[in-house]
């Protein structure tokens, strides 16, 4: 018997895990992992697998990458907060942060690869704007398990690893993140190539949820506020789900944290839908002129046109359950906030993390977060300069280049051939 089962919050069905991404009854809800252990015991592991009790895996990997939480002093003082905690997912060994690909996407990739090995078959195909793809390439390097990563051509320079690997099949597609998603979907029509699943993948959500677990264990309680920049919103859903488990544990308090989720203006579909009180995103209203808006943001990893917002157990439900807020952040505000944070704390940020910092400043200014409130700021990426200084980073060369997503069908057999050669 596995240490967890899957539950569909739509119909209540209990499912066995066969790398299951959705309820077989067709429910429009995110399937959740239900762990047999309701009390979190920390394992004696170096990184994320410290939290393996609440990851949908049986085995672990000897990976150093894991969530890190510390209490801010300099930045907190400058912005008038007394109880600000930073969840730092990146490379900053002085703070114990050893995610060599510098973003919290590695927290998703590690349990996903283990879950696939234990419950599924085939090779994972991952669409990414850059950070997720890099994380999965690194995981392929560490495990030797091949992965197919599809990125927009503009995100190609972001795909590097900290170890040599020939197990990552990189495909570039001319276009944006949505084109990469479309190409990956087409590839997955070929037997043997399996969609990683995004927000529907419980390993991905619960991997991200370890940021909340680490914070609760470090602080001694569930924080009152959780601040993150979102593209799909999966991190927000994950924080909510992790907080519910922590409350069930009984040692970390009884109140859910309020979610403060931010997007980068002008591409802010979830902000618009939420502020209008709608469960559904209406493309003509919430993301008009999407391509141009996507091209204009400073944090393009936040540009998902099809986020799990309306789906049961998705972003709308997470915001509703936590009395959450959403923020639209201008590029300039994000850049200024990022510089402020870096000046005070001494580490460079991913542009997406800078969007979260700007949202925190707005929440403090508006009074939504009070000076004494226990607040967790999720710095979802950073330490790139630090990693460049001390690690031997290697760019992954593309194996296939597509002019458009339509080219994916024609190259699927060759991709499968590549996988078989490198398995
Ligand atoms: C650094 C960083 N922060 C935040 C996000 C948003 O994550 P999500 O919306 O999936 O929670 C991403 C997505 O790629 C990211 O790379």
Q: Is the domain of 349 the same as that of 272?
A: yes
Q: Is the domain of 218 the same as that of 163?
A: no
Q: What is the CATH number of the domain that holds 240?
A: 3.40.50.1100
81, 371 contact by CB (below 8 A): yes
Q: What is the mean pLDDT of residues 90-114?
A: 97
**pLDDT given for residue 2 in this prediction:** 93
Say yes or no to pLDDT of 1 above 90: no
Q: Is the domain of 351 the same as that of 409?
A: no
The 10 Å Cβ neighbour count of residue 160 is 18
pLDDT digits (tens, 9 = 90+) for 60-71: 998 999 999 999
The response to whether 165 counts as a known ligand-binding position is no
Q: Is the domain of 129 the same as that of 276?
A: no
Report how far ligand 1's centroid is from the alpha carbon of 168 (Å). 21
Q: Give the C-alpha separation, 136 to 132, whole Å.
A: 6
**pLDDT given for residue 38 in this prediction:** 98
Q: How far is CA 389 from the centre of its chain?
A: 25
What is the dihedral sign for C-alpha 243, 15, 304, 309? negative
Q: Is the domain of 182 the same as that of 233?
A: no
Closest listed residue to residue 261, CA positions, set 215, 314, 312, 206:
314
32-35, strands of its sheet edge to edge: 14-15, 4-7, 32-35
Q: Which atom of ligand 1 is nearest to the CA of 228?
A: 4
Please state, for a pLDDT cut of 90, what percent of the chain lies above it: 98
Residue 198 belongs to a domain: no
Residue whose CA is at the smallest distance from ligand 1 atom 13 = 301
**pLDDT given for residue 311 in this prediction:** 98
Q: Is the domain of 320 the same as that of 410?
A: no
Report how far ligand 1's centroid is from the alpha carbon of 346 (Å). 22
Q: Is the domain of 77 the same as that of 224?
A: yes
**pLDDT given for residue 368 in this prediction:** 98
Q: Which atom of ligand 1 is nearest to the CA of 199?
A: 10
Closest listed residue to residue 260, CA positions, set 233, 283, 278, 292:
233
Report how far ligand 1's centroid is from the alpha carbon of 327 (Å). 15
Q: What is the mean pLDDT of residues 19-47?
A: 96
Residue 25 belongs to a domain: no
Residue 107 belongs to a domain: no
Q: Is the domain of 293 the same as that of 312?
A: yes
Residue 176 belongs to a domain: yes
pLDDT digits (tens, 9 = 90+) for 239-290: 999 999 999 999 999 999 999 999 999 999 999 999 999 999 999 999 999 9
Name the residue of 233, 237, 380 whose CB sits within 8 Å of the most ligand 1 atoms, as the mutation to test its pocket: 380
Q: What is the mean pLDDT of residues 161-182?
A: 94
Residue 355 belongs to a domain: yes
**Range name among 115-119, 177-181, 185-189 with the lowest pLDDT average:** 177-181
Residue 384 forms beta bridges with which residues?
none
211 pLDDT tier (thresholds 50, 70, 90): very high
* Number of domains, the chain: 2
Report how far ligand 1's centroid is from the alpha carbon of 413 (Å). 31
147 pLDDT tier (thresholds 50, 70, 90): very high
Name the residue of 126, 131, 203 whose CB sits within 8 Å of the most ligand 1 atoms, as the mutation to test its pocket: 131
Q: Is the domain of 146 the same as that of 174?
A: yes
**pLDDT given for residue 390 in this prediction:** 95
Say yes or no to pLDDT of 423 above 90: no
Closest listed residue to residue 107, CA positions, set 67, 165, 76:
67
The response to whether 101 counts as a known ligand-binding position is no
Residue 407 belongs to a domain: yes
Residue whose CA is at the smallest distance from ligand 1 atom 7 = 230
User: Please, which residues have CB within 8 angstroms of residue 295's CB and are 6 or more apart in sequence?
Assistant: 176
- Tell me if residue 350 falls in helix, strand or coil: coil
- Tell me if residue 165 falls in helix, strand or coil: coil
Question: Exposure string (b/e) for 193-224, b if CB count within 10 Å is 16 or more?
Answer: bbbbbbbbbbbbbbbbbbbbbbbbbbbebbbb
Q: How far is CA 51 from the centre of its chain?
A: 17
Report how far ligand 1's centroid is from the alpha carbon of 125 (Å). 18
Q: Which atom of ligand 1 is nearest to the CA of 231?
A: 9
30, 199 contact by CB (below 8 A): yes
Quote the domain boundaries for residue 186. 123-191+393-422
Residue 373 belongs to a domain: yes
Name the residue of 97, 128, 133, 232 whose CB sits within 8 Å of the most ligand 1 atoms, as the mutation to test its pocket: 232
Q: Is the domain of 73 the same as that of 213?
A: yes
Say yes or no to pLDDT of 79 above 90: yes
Degrees (nearest 5) of the Cα angle 390, 392, 397? 145
Q: Is the domain of 140 the same as that of 225?
A: no
Please state, for a pLDDT cut of 70, what percent of the chain lies above it: 100
**pLDDT given for residue 43 in this prediction:** 96
Residue whose CA is at the smallest distance from ligand 1 atom 12 = 301
Report how far ligand 1's centroid is from the alpha carbon of 410 (Å). 31
The alpha-helical segments, DSSP class H, found in 49-193 are 74-78, 105-119, 131-143, 177-187
Report how far ligand 1's centroid is from the alpha carbon of 234 (Å). 8
Report how far ligand 1's centroid is from the alpha carbon of 342 (Å). 19
Q: Which atom of ligand 1 is nearest to the CA of 350?
A: 1
Q: Give the C-alpha separation, 309 to 279, whole Å.
A: 7
Q: Which atom of ligand 1 is nearest to the CA of 131?
A: 16
236 pLDDT tier (thresholds 50, 70, 90): very high
Pocket of ligand 1 (CB under 6 A): 103, 105, 129, 131-132, 229-235, 301-302, 350, 352-353, 380-381
Biggest CA pair distance of the chain: 58
User: 190 phi and psi, to 5 degrees?
Assistant: -90, 125
Residue 248 belongs to a domain: yes
357, 349 contact by CB (below 8 A): yes
Tokens of 26: 């067709």
Q: Is the domain of 356 the same as that of 241?
A: yes
């Amino acid at each position: 018997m596995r240490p967890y089962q899957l539950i569909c919050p739509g119909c209540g069905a209990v499912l066995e895990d066969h790398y299951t991404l959705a309820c077989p009854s067709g429910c429009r809800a995110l399937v959740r992992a239900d762990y047999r252990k309701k009390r979190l015991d920390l394992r004696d592991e170096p990184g994320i697998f410290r939290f393996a009790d609440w990851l949908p895996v049986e085995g672990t990997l000897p990976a150093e990458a894991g969530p890190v939480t510390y209490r801010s002093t300099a930045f907190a003082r400058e912005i008038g907060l007394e109880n600000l905690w930073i969840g730092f997912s990146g490379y900053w060994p002085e703070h114990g942060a050893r995610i060599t690909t510098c973003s919290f996407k590695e927290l998703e990739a590690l349990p996903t690869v283990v879950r696939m090995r234990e419950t599924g078959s085939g090779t994972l195909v991952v669409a990414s704007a850059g950070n997720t793809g890099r994380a999965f390439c690194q995981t392929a390097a560490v495990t030797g398990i091949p992965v197919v990563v599809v990125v927009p051509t503009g995100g190609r320079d972001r795909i590097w690893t900290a170890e040599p690997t020939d197990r990552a099949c990189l495909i570039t597609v001319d276009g944006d993140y949505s084109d990469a998603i479309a190409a990956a979907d087409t590839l997955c029509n070929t037997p043997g190539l399996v969609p990683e699943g995004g927000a529907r993948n419980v390993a991905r959500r619960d991997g991200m949820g370890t940021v909340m677990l680490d914070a609760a264990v470090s602080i001694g309680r569930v924080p009152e506020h959780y601040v993150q920049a979102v593209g799909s919103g999966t991190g927000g859903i994950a924080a909510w789900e992790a907080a519910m488990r922590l409350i069930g544990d009984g040692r970390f308090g009884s109140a859910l944290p309020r979610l403060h989720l931010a997007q980068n203006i002008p591409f802010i579909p979830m902000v618009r839908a939420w502020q209008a009180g709608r469960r559904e995103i209406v493309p003509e209203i919430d993301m008009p002129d999407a391509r141009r808006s996507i091209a204009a943001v400073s944090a393009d990893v936040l540009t998902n046109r099809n986020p799990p917002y309306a789906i049961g157990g998705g972003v709308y439900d997470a915001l509703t359950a936590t009395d959450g807020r959403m923020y639209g952040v201008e590029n300039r505000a994000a850049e200024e906030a990022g510089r402020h944070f870096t000046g005070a704390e001494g580490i460079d940020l991913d542009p997406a993390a800078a969007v979260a910092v700007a949202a925190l400043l707005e929440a403090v200014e508006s009074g939504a977060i009070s000076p004494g409130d226990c607040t967790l700021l999720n710095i979802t990426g950073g330490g790139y300069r630090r990693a460049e200084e001390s690690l031997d980073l290697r760019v992954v060369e593309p194996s296939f280049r597509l002019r458009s997503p339509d080219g994916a069908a024609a190259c699927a057999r060759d991709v499968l051939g590549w996988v078989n050669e490198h398995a």
